[in-house]
Structure 1
Amino acid sequence: MFNNWQDCKHILCIRPDNMGDLLMTGPALRALKTSFGAKITVLTSSMAAGIARFMPEIDEVITCDLPWVKTESPVDVSIFEQTVALLKQKQFDAAVIFTVYSQNPLPTVILAYLAGIPRRLAYCRENPYLLLTEWVPDKEPYSIIKHQVRRDLDLVGSVGASTEDESLNLKIATDAKERVISKLQQKSINTDKPWLILHPGVSEVKRQYPKKNWVDTGHSLVNELGYQLLITGSTGEKQLTEDLQKAIGKGSYAMGGLFTLEEFIALIEMAVAVVSVNTGTVHIAAASGTPCVVLYAQTNPQHTPWKAPNCVLPFSVPQNLQSNNEVIRFVHEQLYKEFVPIPDSEQVLKAVKTLLQTNLAYR
């Protein structure tokens, strides 16, 4: 087993999941980069590749959708030979495979093994034998559950990588906020007045917050706080944002599909607060230091906002939508036995008020 990574100057970090997952890996990537003076190349999914451009710890990105991670479309089997060939060509000194506790790392590890990468680090429950050179037995979630950021930091810490700065970090162009202001003004939004963001879109049905609740929450926030309410979403969520805006009415604005990812980051940085479900938006808010109220479907306790002002309002996932993954089911049986109803608009309003007052975030 290798135990000296000081000579590792080109490290492959594999995180083939969603945008928020990759963003939470940022502090661990920083630890590798600064501890070993290494170039960091990330292999990630097409869903997460966009955010990688704004993570200063990342030097190069390889995009690859893998069939053992949720993807939008079927994966061509030729991708395996192509990816292994590319990884061989890059001549990495080491590979780190990052996972949530419910994932088996070994299918991903095999890519690094076949590419001949000499050092391979990951958490794993079963004995990986020769597939890993540095094996960290995975005790989660049976003995302990850590935040995902801490889990990743502890993984790289096992080979001597550390950082004093454990915050999430995003870096955008200096003109990004100017572009946002221009687009907002074109929508007749007063950019001299503060705004609050509602982000209703989800990647999984089980995380959905009902439309009626979004409408009630929007009414409460506009009427009680007087902020402009920007309802954000991707191009595919444009209709959703428009439907909610029509139902909420005066003081709200549909922003679906209006911003690039970089502009969306800038918009969040300039917002008074964000109200969202537990998706990548929450972690962008944490990286921006923007207060966030999270409508948190009880799927994974690791993924709350990291080192940022926040209020988490949990609710139970309907039984018919709960995961068949036995590890996730174990956590559900241990932590989420009692039914938690979906938070209503009064709870969200109270959370926003408390969060803003506590963090002196009025602007």
Structure 2
Amino acid sequence: MTGAAVPPPRDQRWRAARRVLLVRLDNLGDVLMTTPAFAAVRDSLPAAHLALLAAPSAQLLRPHLPLLDEIIGFHAPWVKAGAAALAGQPPGAAERALLQSLQEASFDAAIIFTVCTQSALPAALLCRLAGIPLVLAHTRERAYGLLSDEVPDREQVATGMRHEVRRQLDLVARVGFVTPDERLRFTLREEDSAAARELLLGAGVDPARPYVLVHPGASAASRRYPAAAYGAAAALLRREGLQVVFCAGPGEGGLLDEAATAMGGGGHVLAPLRQLGTLAALVAGARVLVGNNSGPVHLAAAVGTPVVDLYALTNPQHTPWQVPARVLNHDVPCRNCLKSVCAEGHHDCLRRVAPAQVAEAAWALMREAA
């Protein structure tokens, strides 16, 4: 009697993959924190086609992540920003269009990257419908036939979590994908540096002299240190002869105005930035970045610039990765709330950090780098 066929070892199945879909559907900062895991896949499968399925904003990363061959933009209805973007559209239209393109692409493997509060199963169902035979993800639920390979997700926000970068590196290691270089990835181009220099000169900044870059923005209100407090910290830095440059993203001009006004003069304010490469070059040229727990902090980690991170206690796993940093906050009983807006109304985890602490943290990082 002939026995049932024995499946090949896990690593062997995955090392035969030639077209791999990497799924990371949340914010740009989350994508940046997953780049070491992307690199582990690339190092293990140097000839494979690697495509990233991500929110459309991730297209901004395309020129800066040469380890990827393609970025596919998709508003996922099971992700907060994706659901908002799809409001008013016919239900299912975006999913059907994506499914058709995934079927045509003939991927033979997919890796779904999530935080511990997200479910991988909606994306896993899409992968199954697209005919992708190998699918890897963390999961809390019983996935049954939706995943070929899974890592049980036992992390709890309240009892401690791995860093987000480590979580995703551990995921891909499950199928044998590792890298000796666990740094965040972001490639700067010459045109990025040239654009940043032009912006600085236009704002009256001497790029040859040291400057501190202050970025008061963040997508969630709960993660924003008060703009006026940024201005007060900047005034303290300016008194010591440093050039202080304020920057922010689209729609954050009001934060820039408030911070610059609170500084009382002497700062250099750039218009809200739309080019990610220009922002990264500004960060790379700074002695220190001062900002919130947001994308620019992870850009700083990718380009090696020290960071003062005004880190709201909303979630614990997104601190600056492998870069000199000072993480500032005030401990509160409501820590790890996972809220986009402070549910208590006091915002004490950030509001009670004094501007003098921010300035001293920046000086400490500069002294260490000297």
Do both proteins adopt the same fold according to a TM-score greater than 0.5, normalized to the shorter chain? Answer: yes
- Within 1, Cα distance between the matches of 2:62 and 2:295? 12
- Within 1, Cα distance between the matches of 2:127 and 2:285? 40
Task: Confirm or deny: 8 A CA contact 1:94 1:119 kept in the other structure.
Answer: yes
- Within 2, Cα distance between the matches of 1:190 and 1:358? 23
| 1:9-30 deviations in Å (ceiling 9; x for gaps) | 2110000110100001001011
> Kindly tell me: are residues 54 and 311 of structure 1, through their superposed partners in 2, closer, same or farther at Cα, counting changes over 3 Å?
same
Q: Which of 166-175 and 8-17 deviates more? A: 166-175
Confirm or deny that 1:73 pairs with 2:94. no
Q: AA paired with 1:250?
A: G
- Shift of the alpha carbon at 1:136? 0.9
Task: Confirm or deny: 8 A CA contact 1:218 1:229 kept in the other structure.
Answer: yes
Say what the alpha-carbon RMSD is for the aligned residues. 2.4
Counterpart in the other structure of 2:3: none
Of 37, 43, 62, the residue aligned with 1:34 is 43
Of 291, 302, 327, the residue aligned with 2:306 is 291
Task: Confirm or deny: 8 A CA contact 1:42 1:60 kept in the other structure.
Answer: yes
Q: Aligned to 1:89, what secondary structure does the other structure show?
A: helix
Confirm or deny that 1:107 pairs with 2:119. no
Confirm or deny that 1:161 pairs with 2:177. yes
Q: Which of 313-322 and 91-100 deviates more? A: 313-322
Counterpart in the other structure of 1:13: 22
- Shift of the alpha carbon at 1:212? 2.7
Aligned-residue identity in percent? 35
Counterpart in the other structure of 1:202: 218
Counterpart in the other structure of 2:191: 175
- Shift of the alpha carbon at 1:73? 2.5
> Kindly tell me: are residues 207 and 317 of structure 1, through their superposed partners in 2, closer, same or farther at Cα, counting changes over 3 Å?
farther
Counterpart in the other structure of 2:4: none
TM-score (structure 1 length as normaliser) = 0.90
- Within 2, Cα distance between the matches of 1:183 and 1:105? 41
- Within 2, Cα distance between the matches of 1:320 and 1:271? 31
- Within 2, Cα distance between the matches of 1:58 and 1:7? 18
Query: Aligned runs of 1:121-160 on 2, under 5 Å?
Result: 121-141=136-156, 145-160=161-176
- Shift of the alpha carbon at 1:296? 0.3
| 1:88-114 deviations in Å (ceiling 9; x for gaps) | 111111000000111111111111111
> Kindly tell me: are residues 171 and 110 of structure 1, through their superposed partners in 2, closer, same or farther at Cα, counting changes over 3 Å?
same
Task: Confirm or deny: 8 A CA contact 2:139 2:151 kept in the other structure.
Answer: yes
Counterpart in the other structure of 1:49: 59
Residues paired across the two proteins, number: 348
- Shift of the alpha carbon at 1:342? 2.6
> Kindly tell me: are residues 318 and 189 of structure 1, through their superposed partners in 2, closer, same or farther at Cα, counting changes over 3 Å?
farther
Of 74, 96, 116, the residue aligned with 1:64 is 74
| 1:195-233 deviations in Å (ceiling 9; x for gaps) | 11110011111112113312211111111x321111111
Q: Which runs of 5+ in 1 are unaligned?
A: 330-337
> Kindly tell me: are residues 264 and 151 of structure 1, through their superposed partners in 2, closer, same or farther at Cα, counting changes over 3 Å?
same
Counterpart in the other structure of 1:306: 321
> Kindly tell me: are residues 82 and 258 of structure 1, through their superposed partners in 2, closer, same or farther at Cα, counting changes over 3 Å?
closer
Query: Aligned runs of 1:201-240 on 2, under 5 Å?
Result: 201-223=217-239, 225-240=240-255
Counterpart in the other structure of 2:101: 86
- Within 1, Cα distance between the matches of 2:349 and 2:86? 36
> Kindly tell me: are residues 317 and 114 of structure 1, through their superposed partners in 2, closer, same or farther at Cα, counting changes over 3 Å?
farther
Q: Aligned to 2:190, what secondary structure does the other structure show?
A: coil
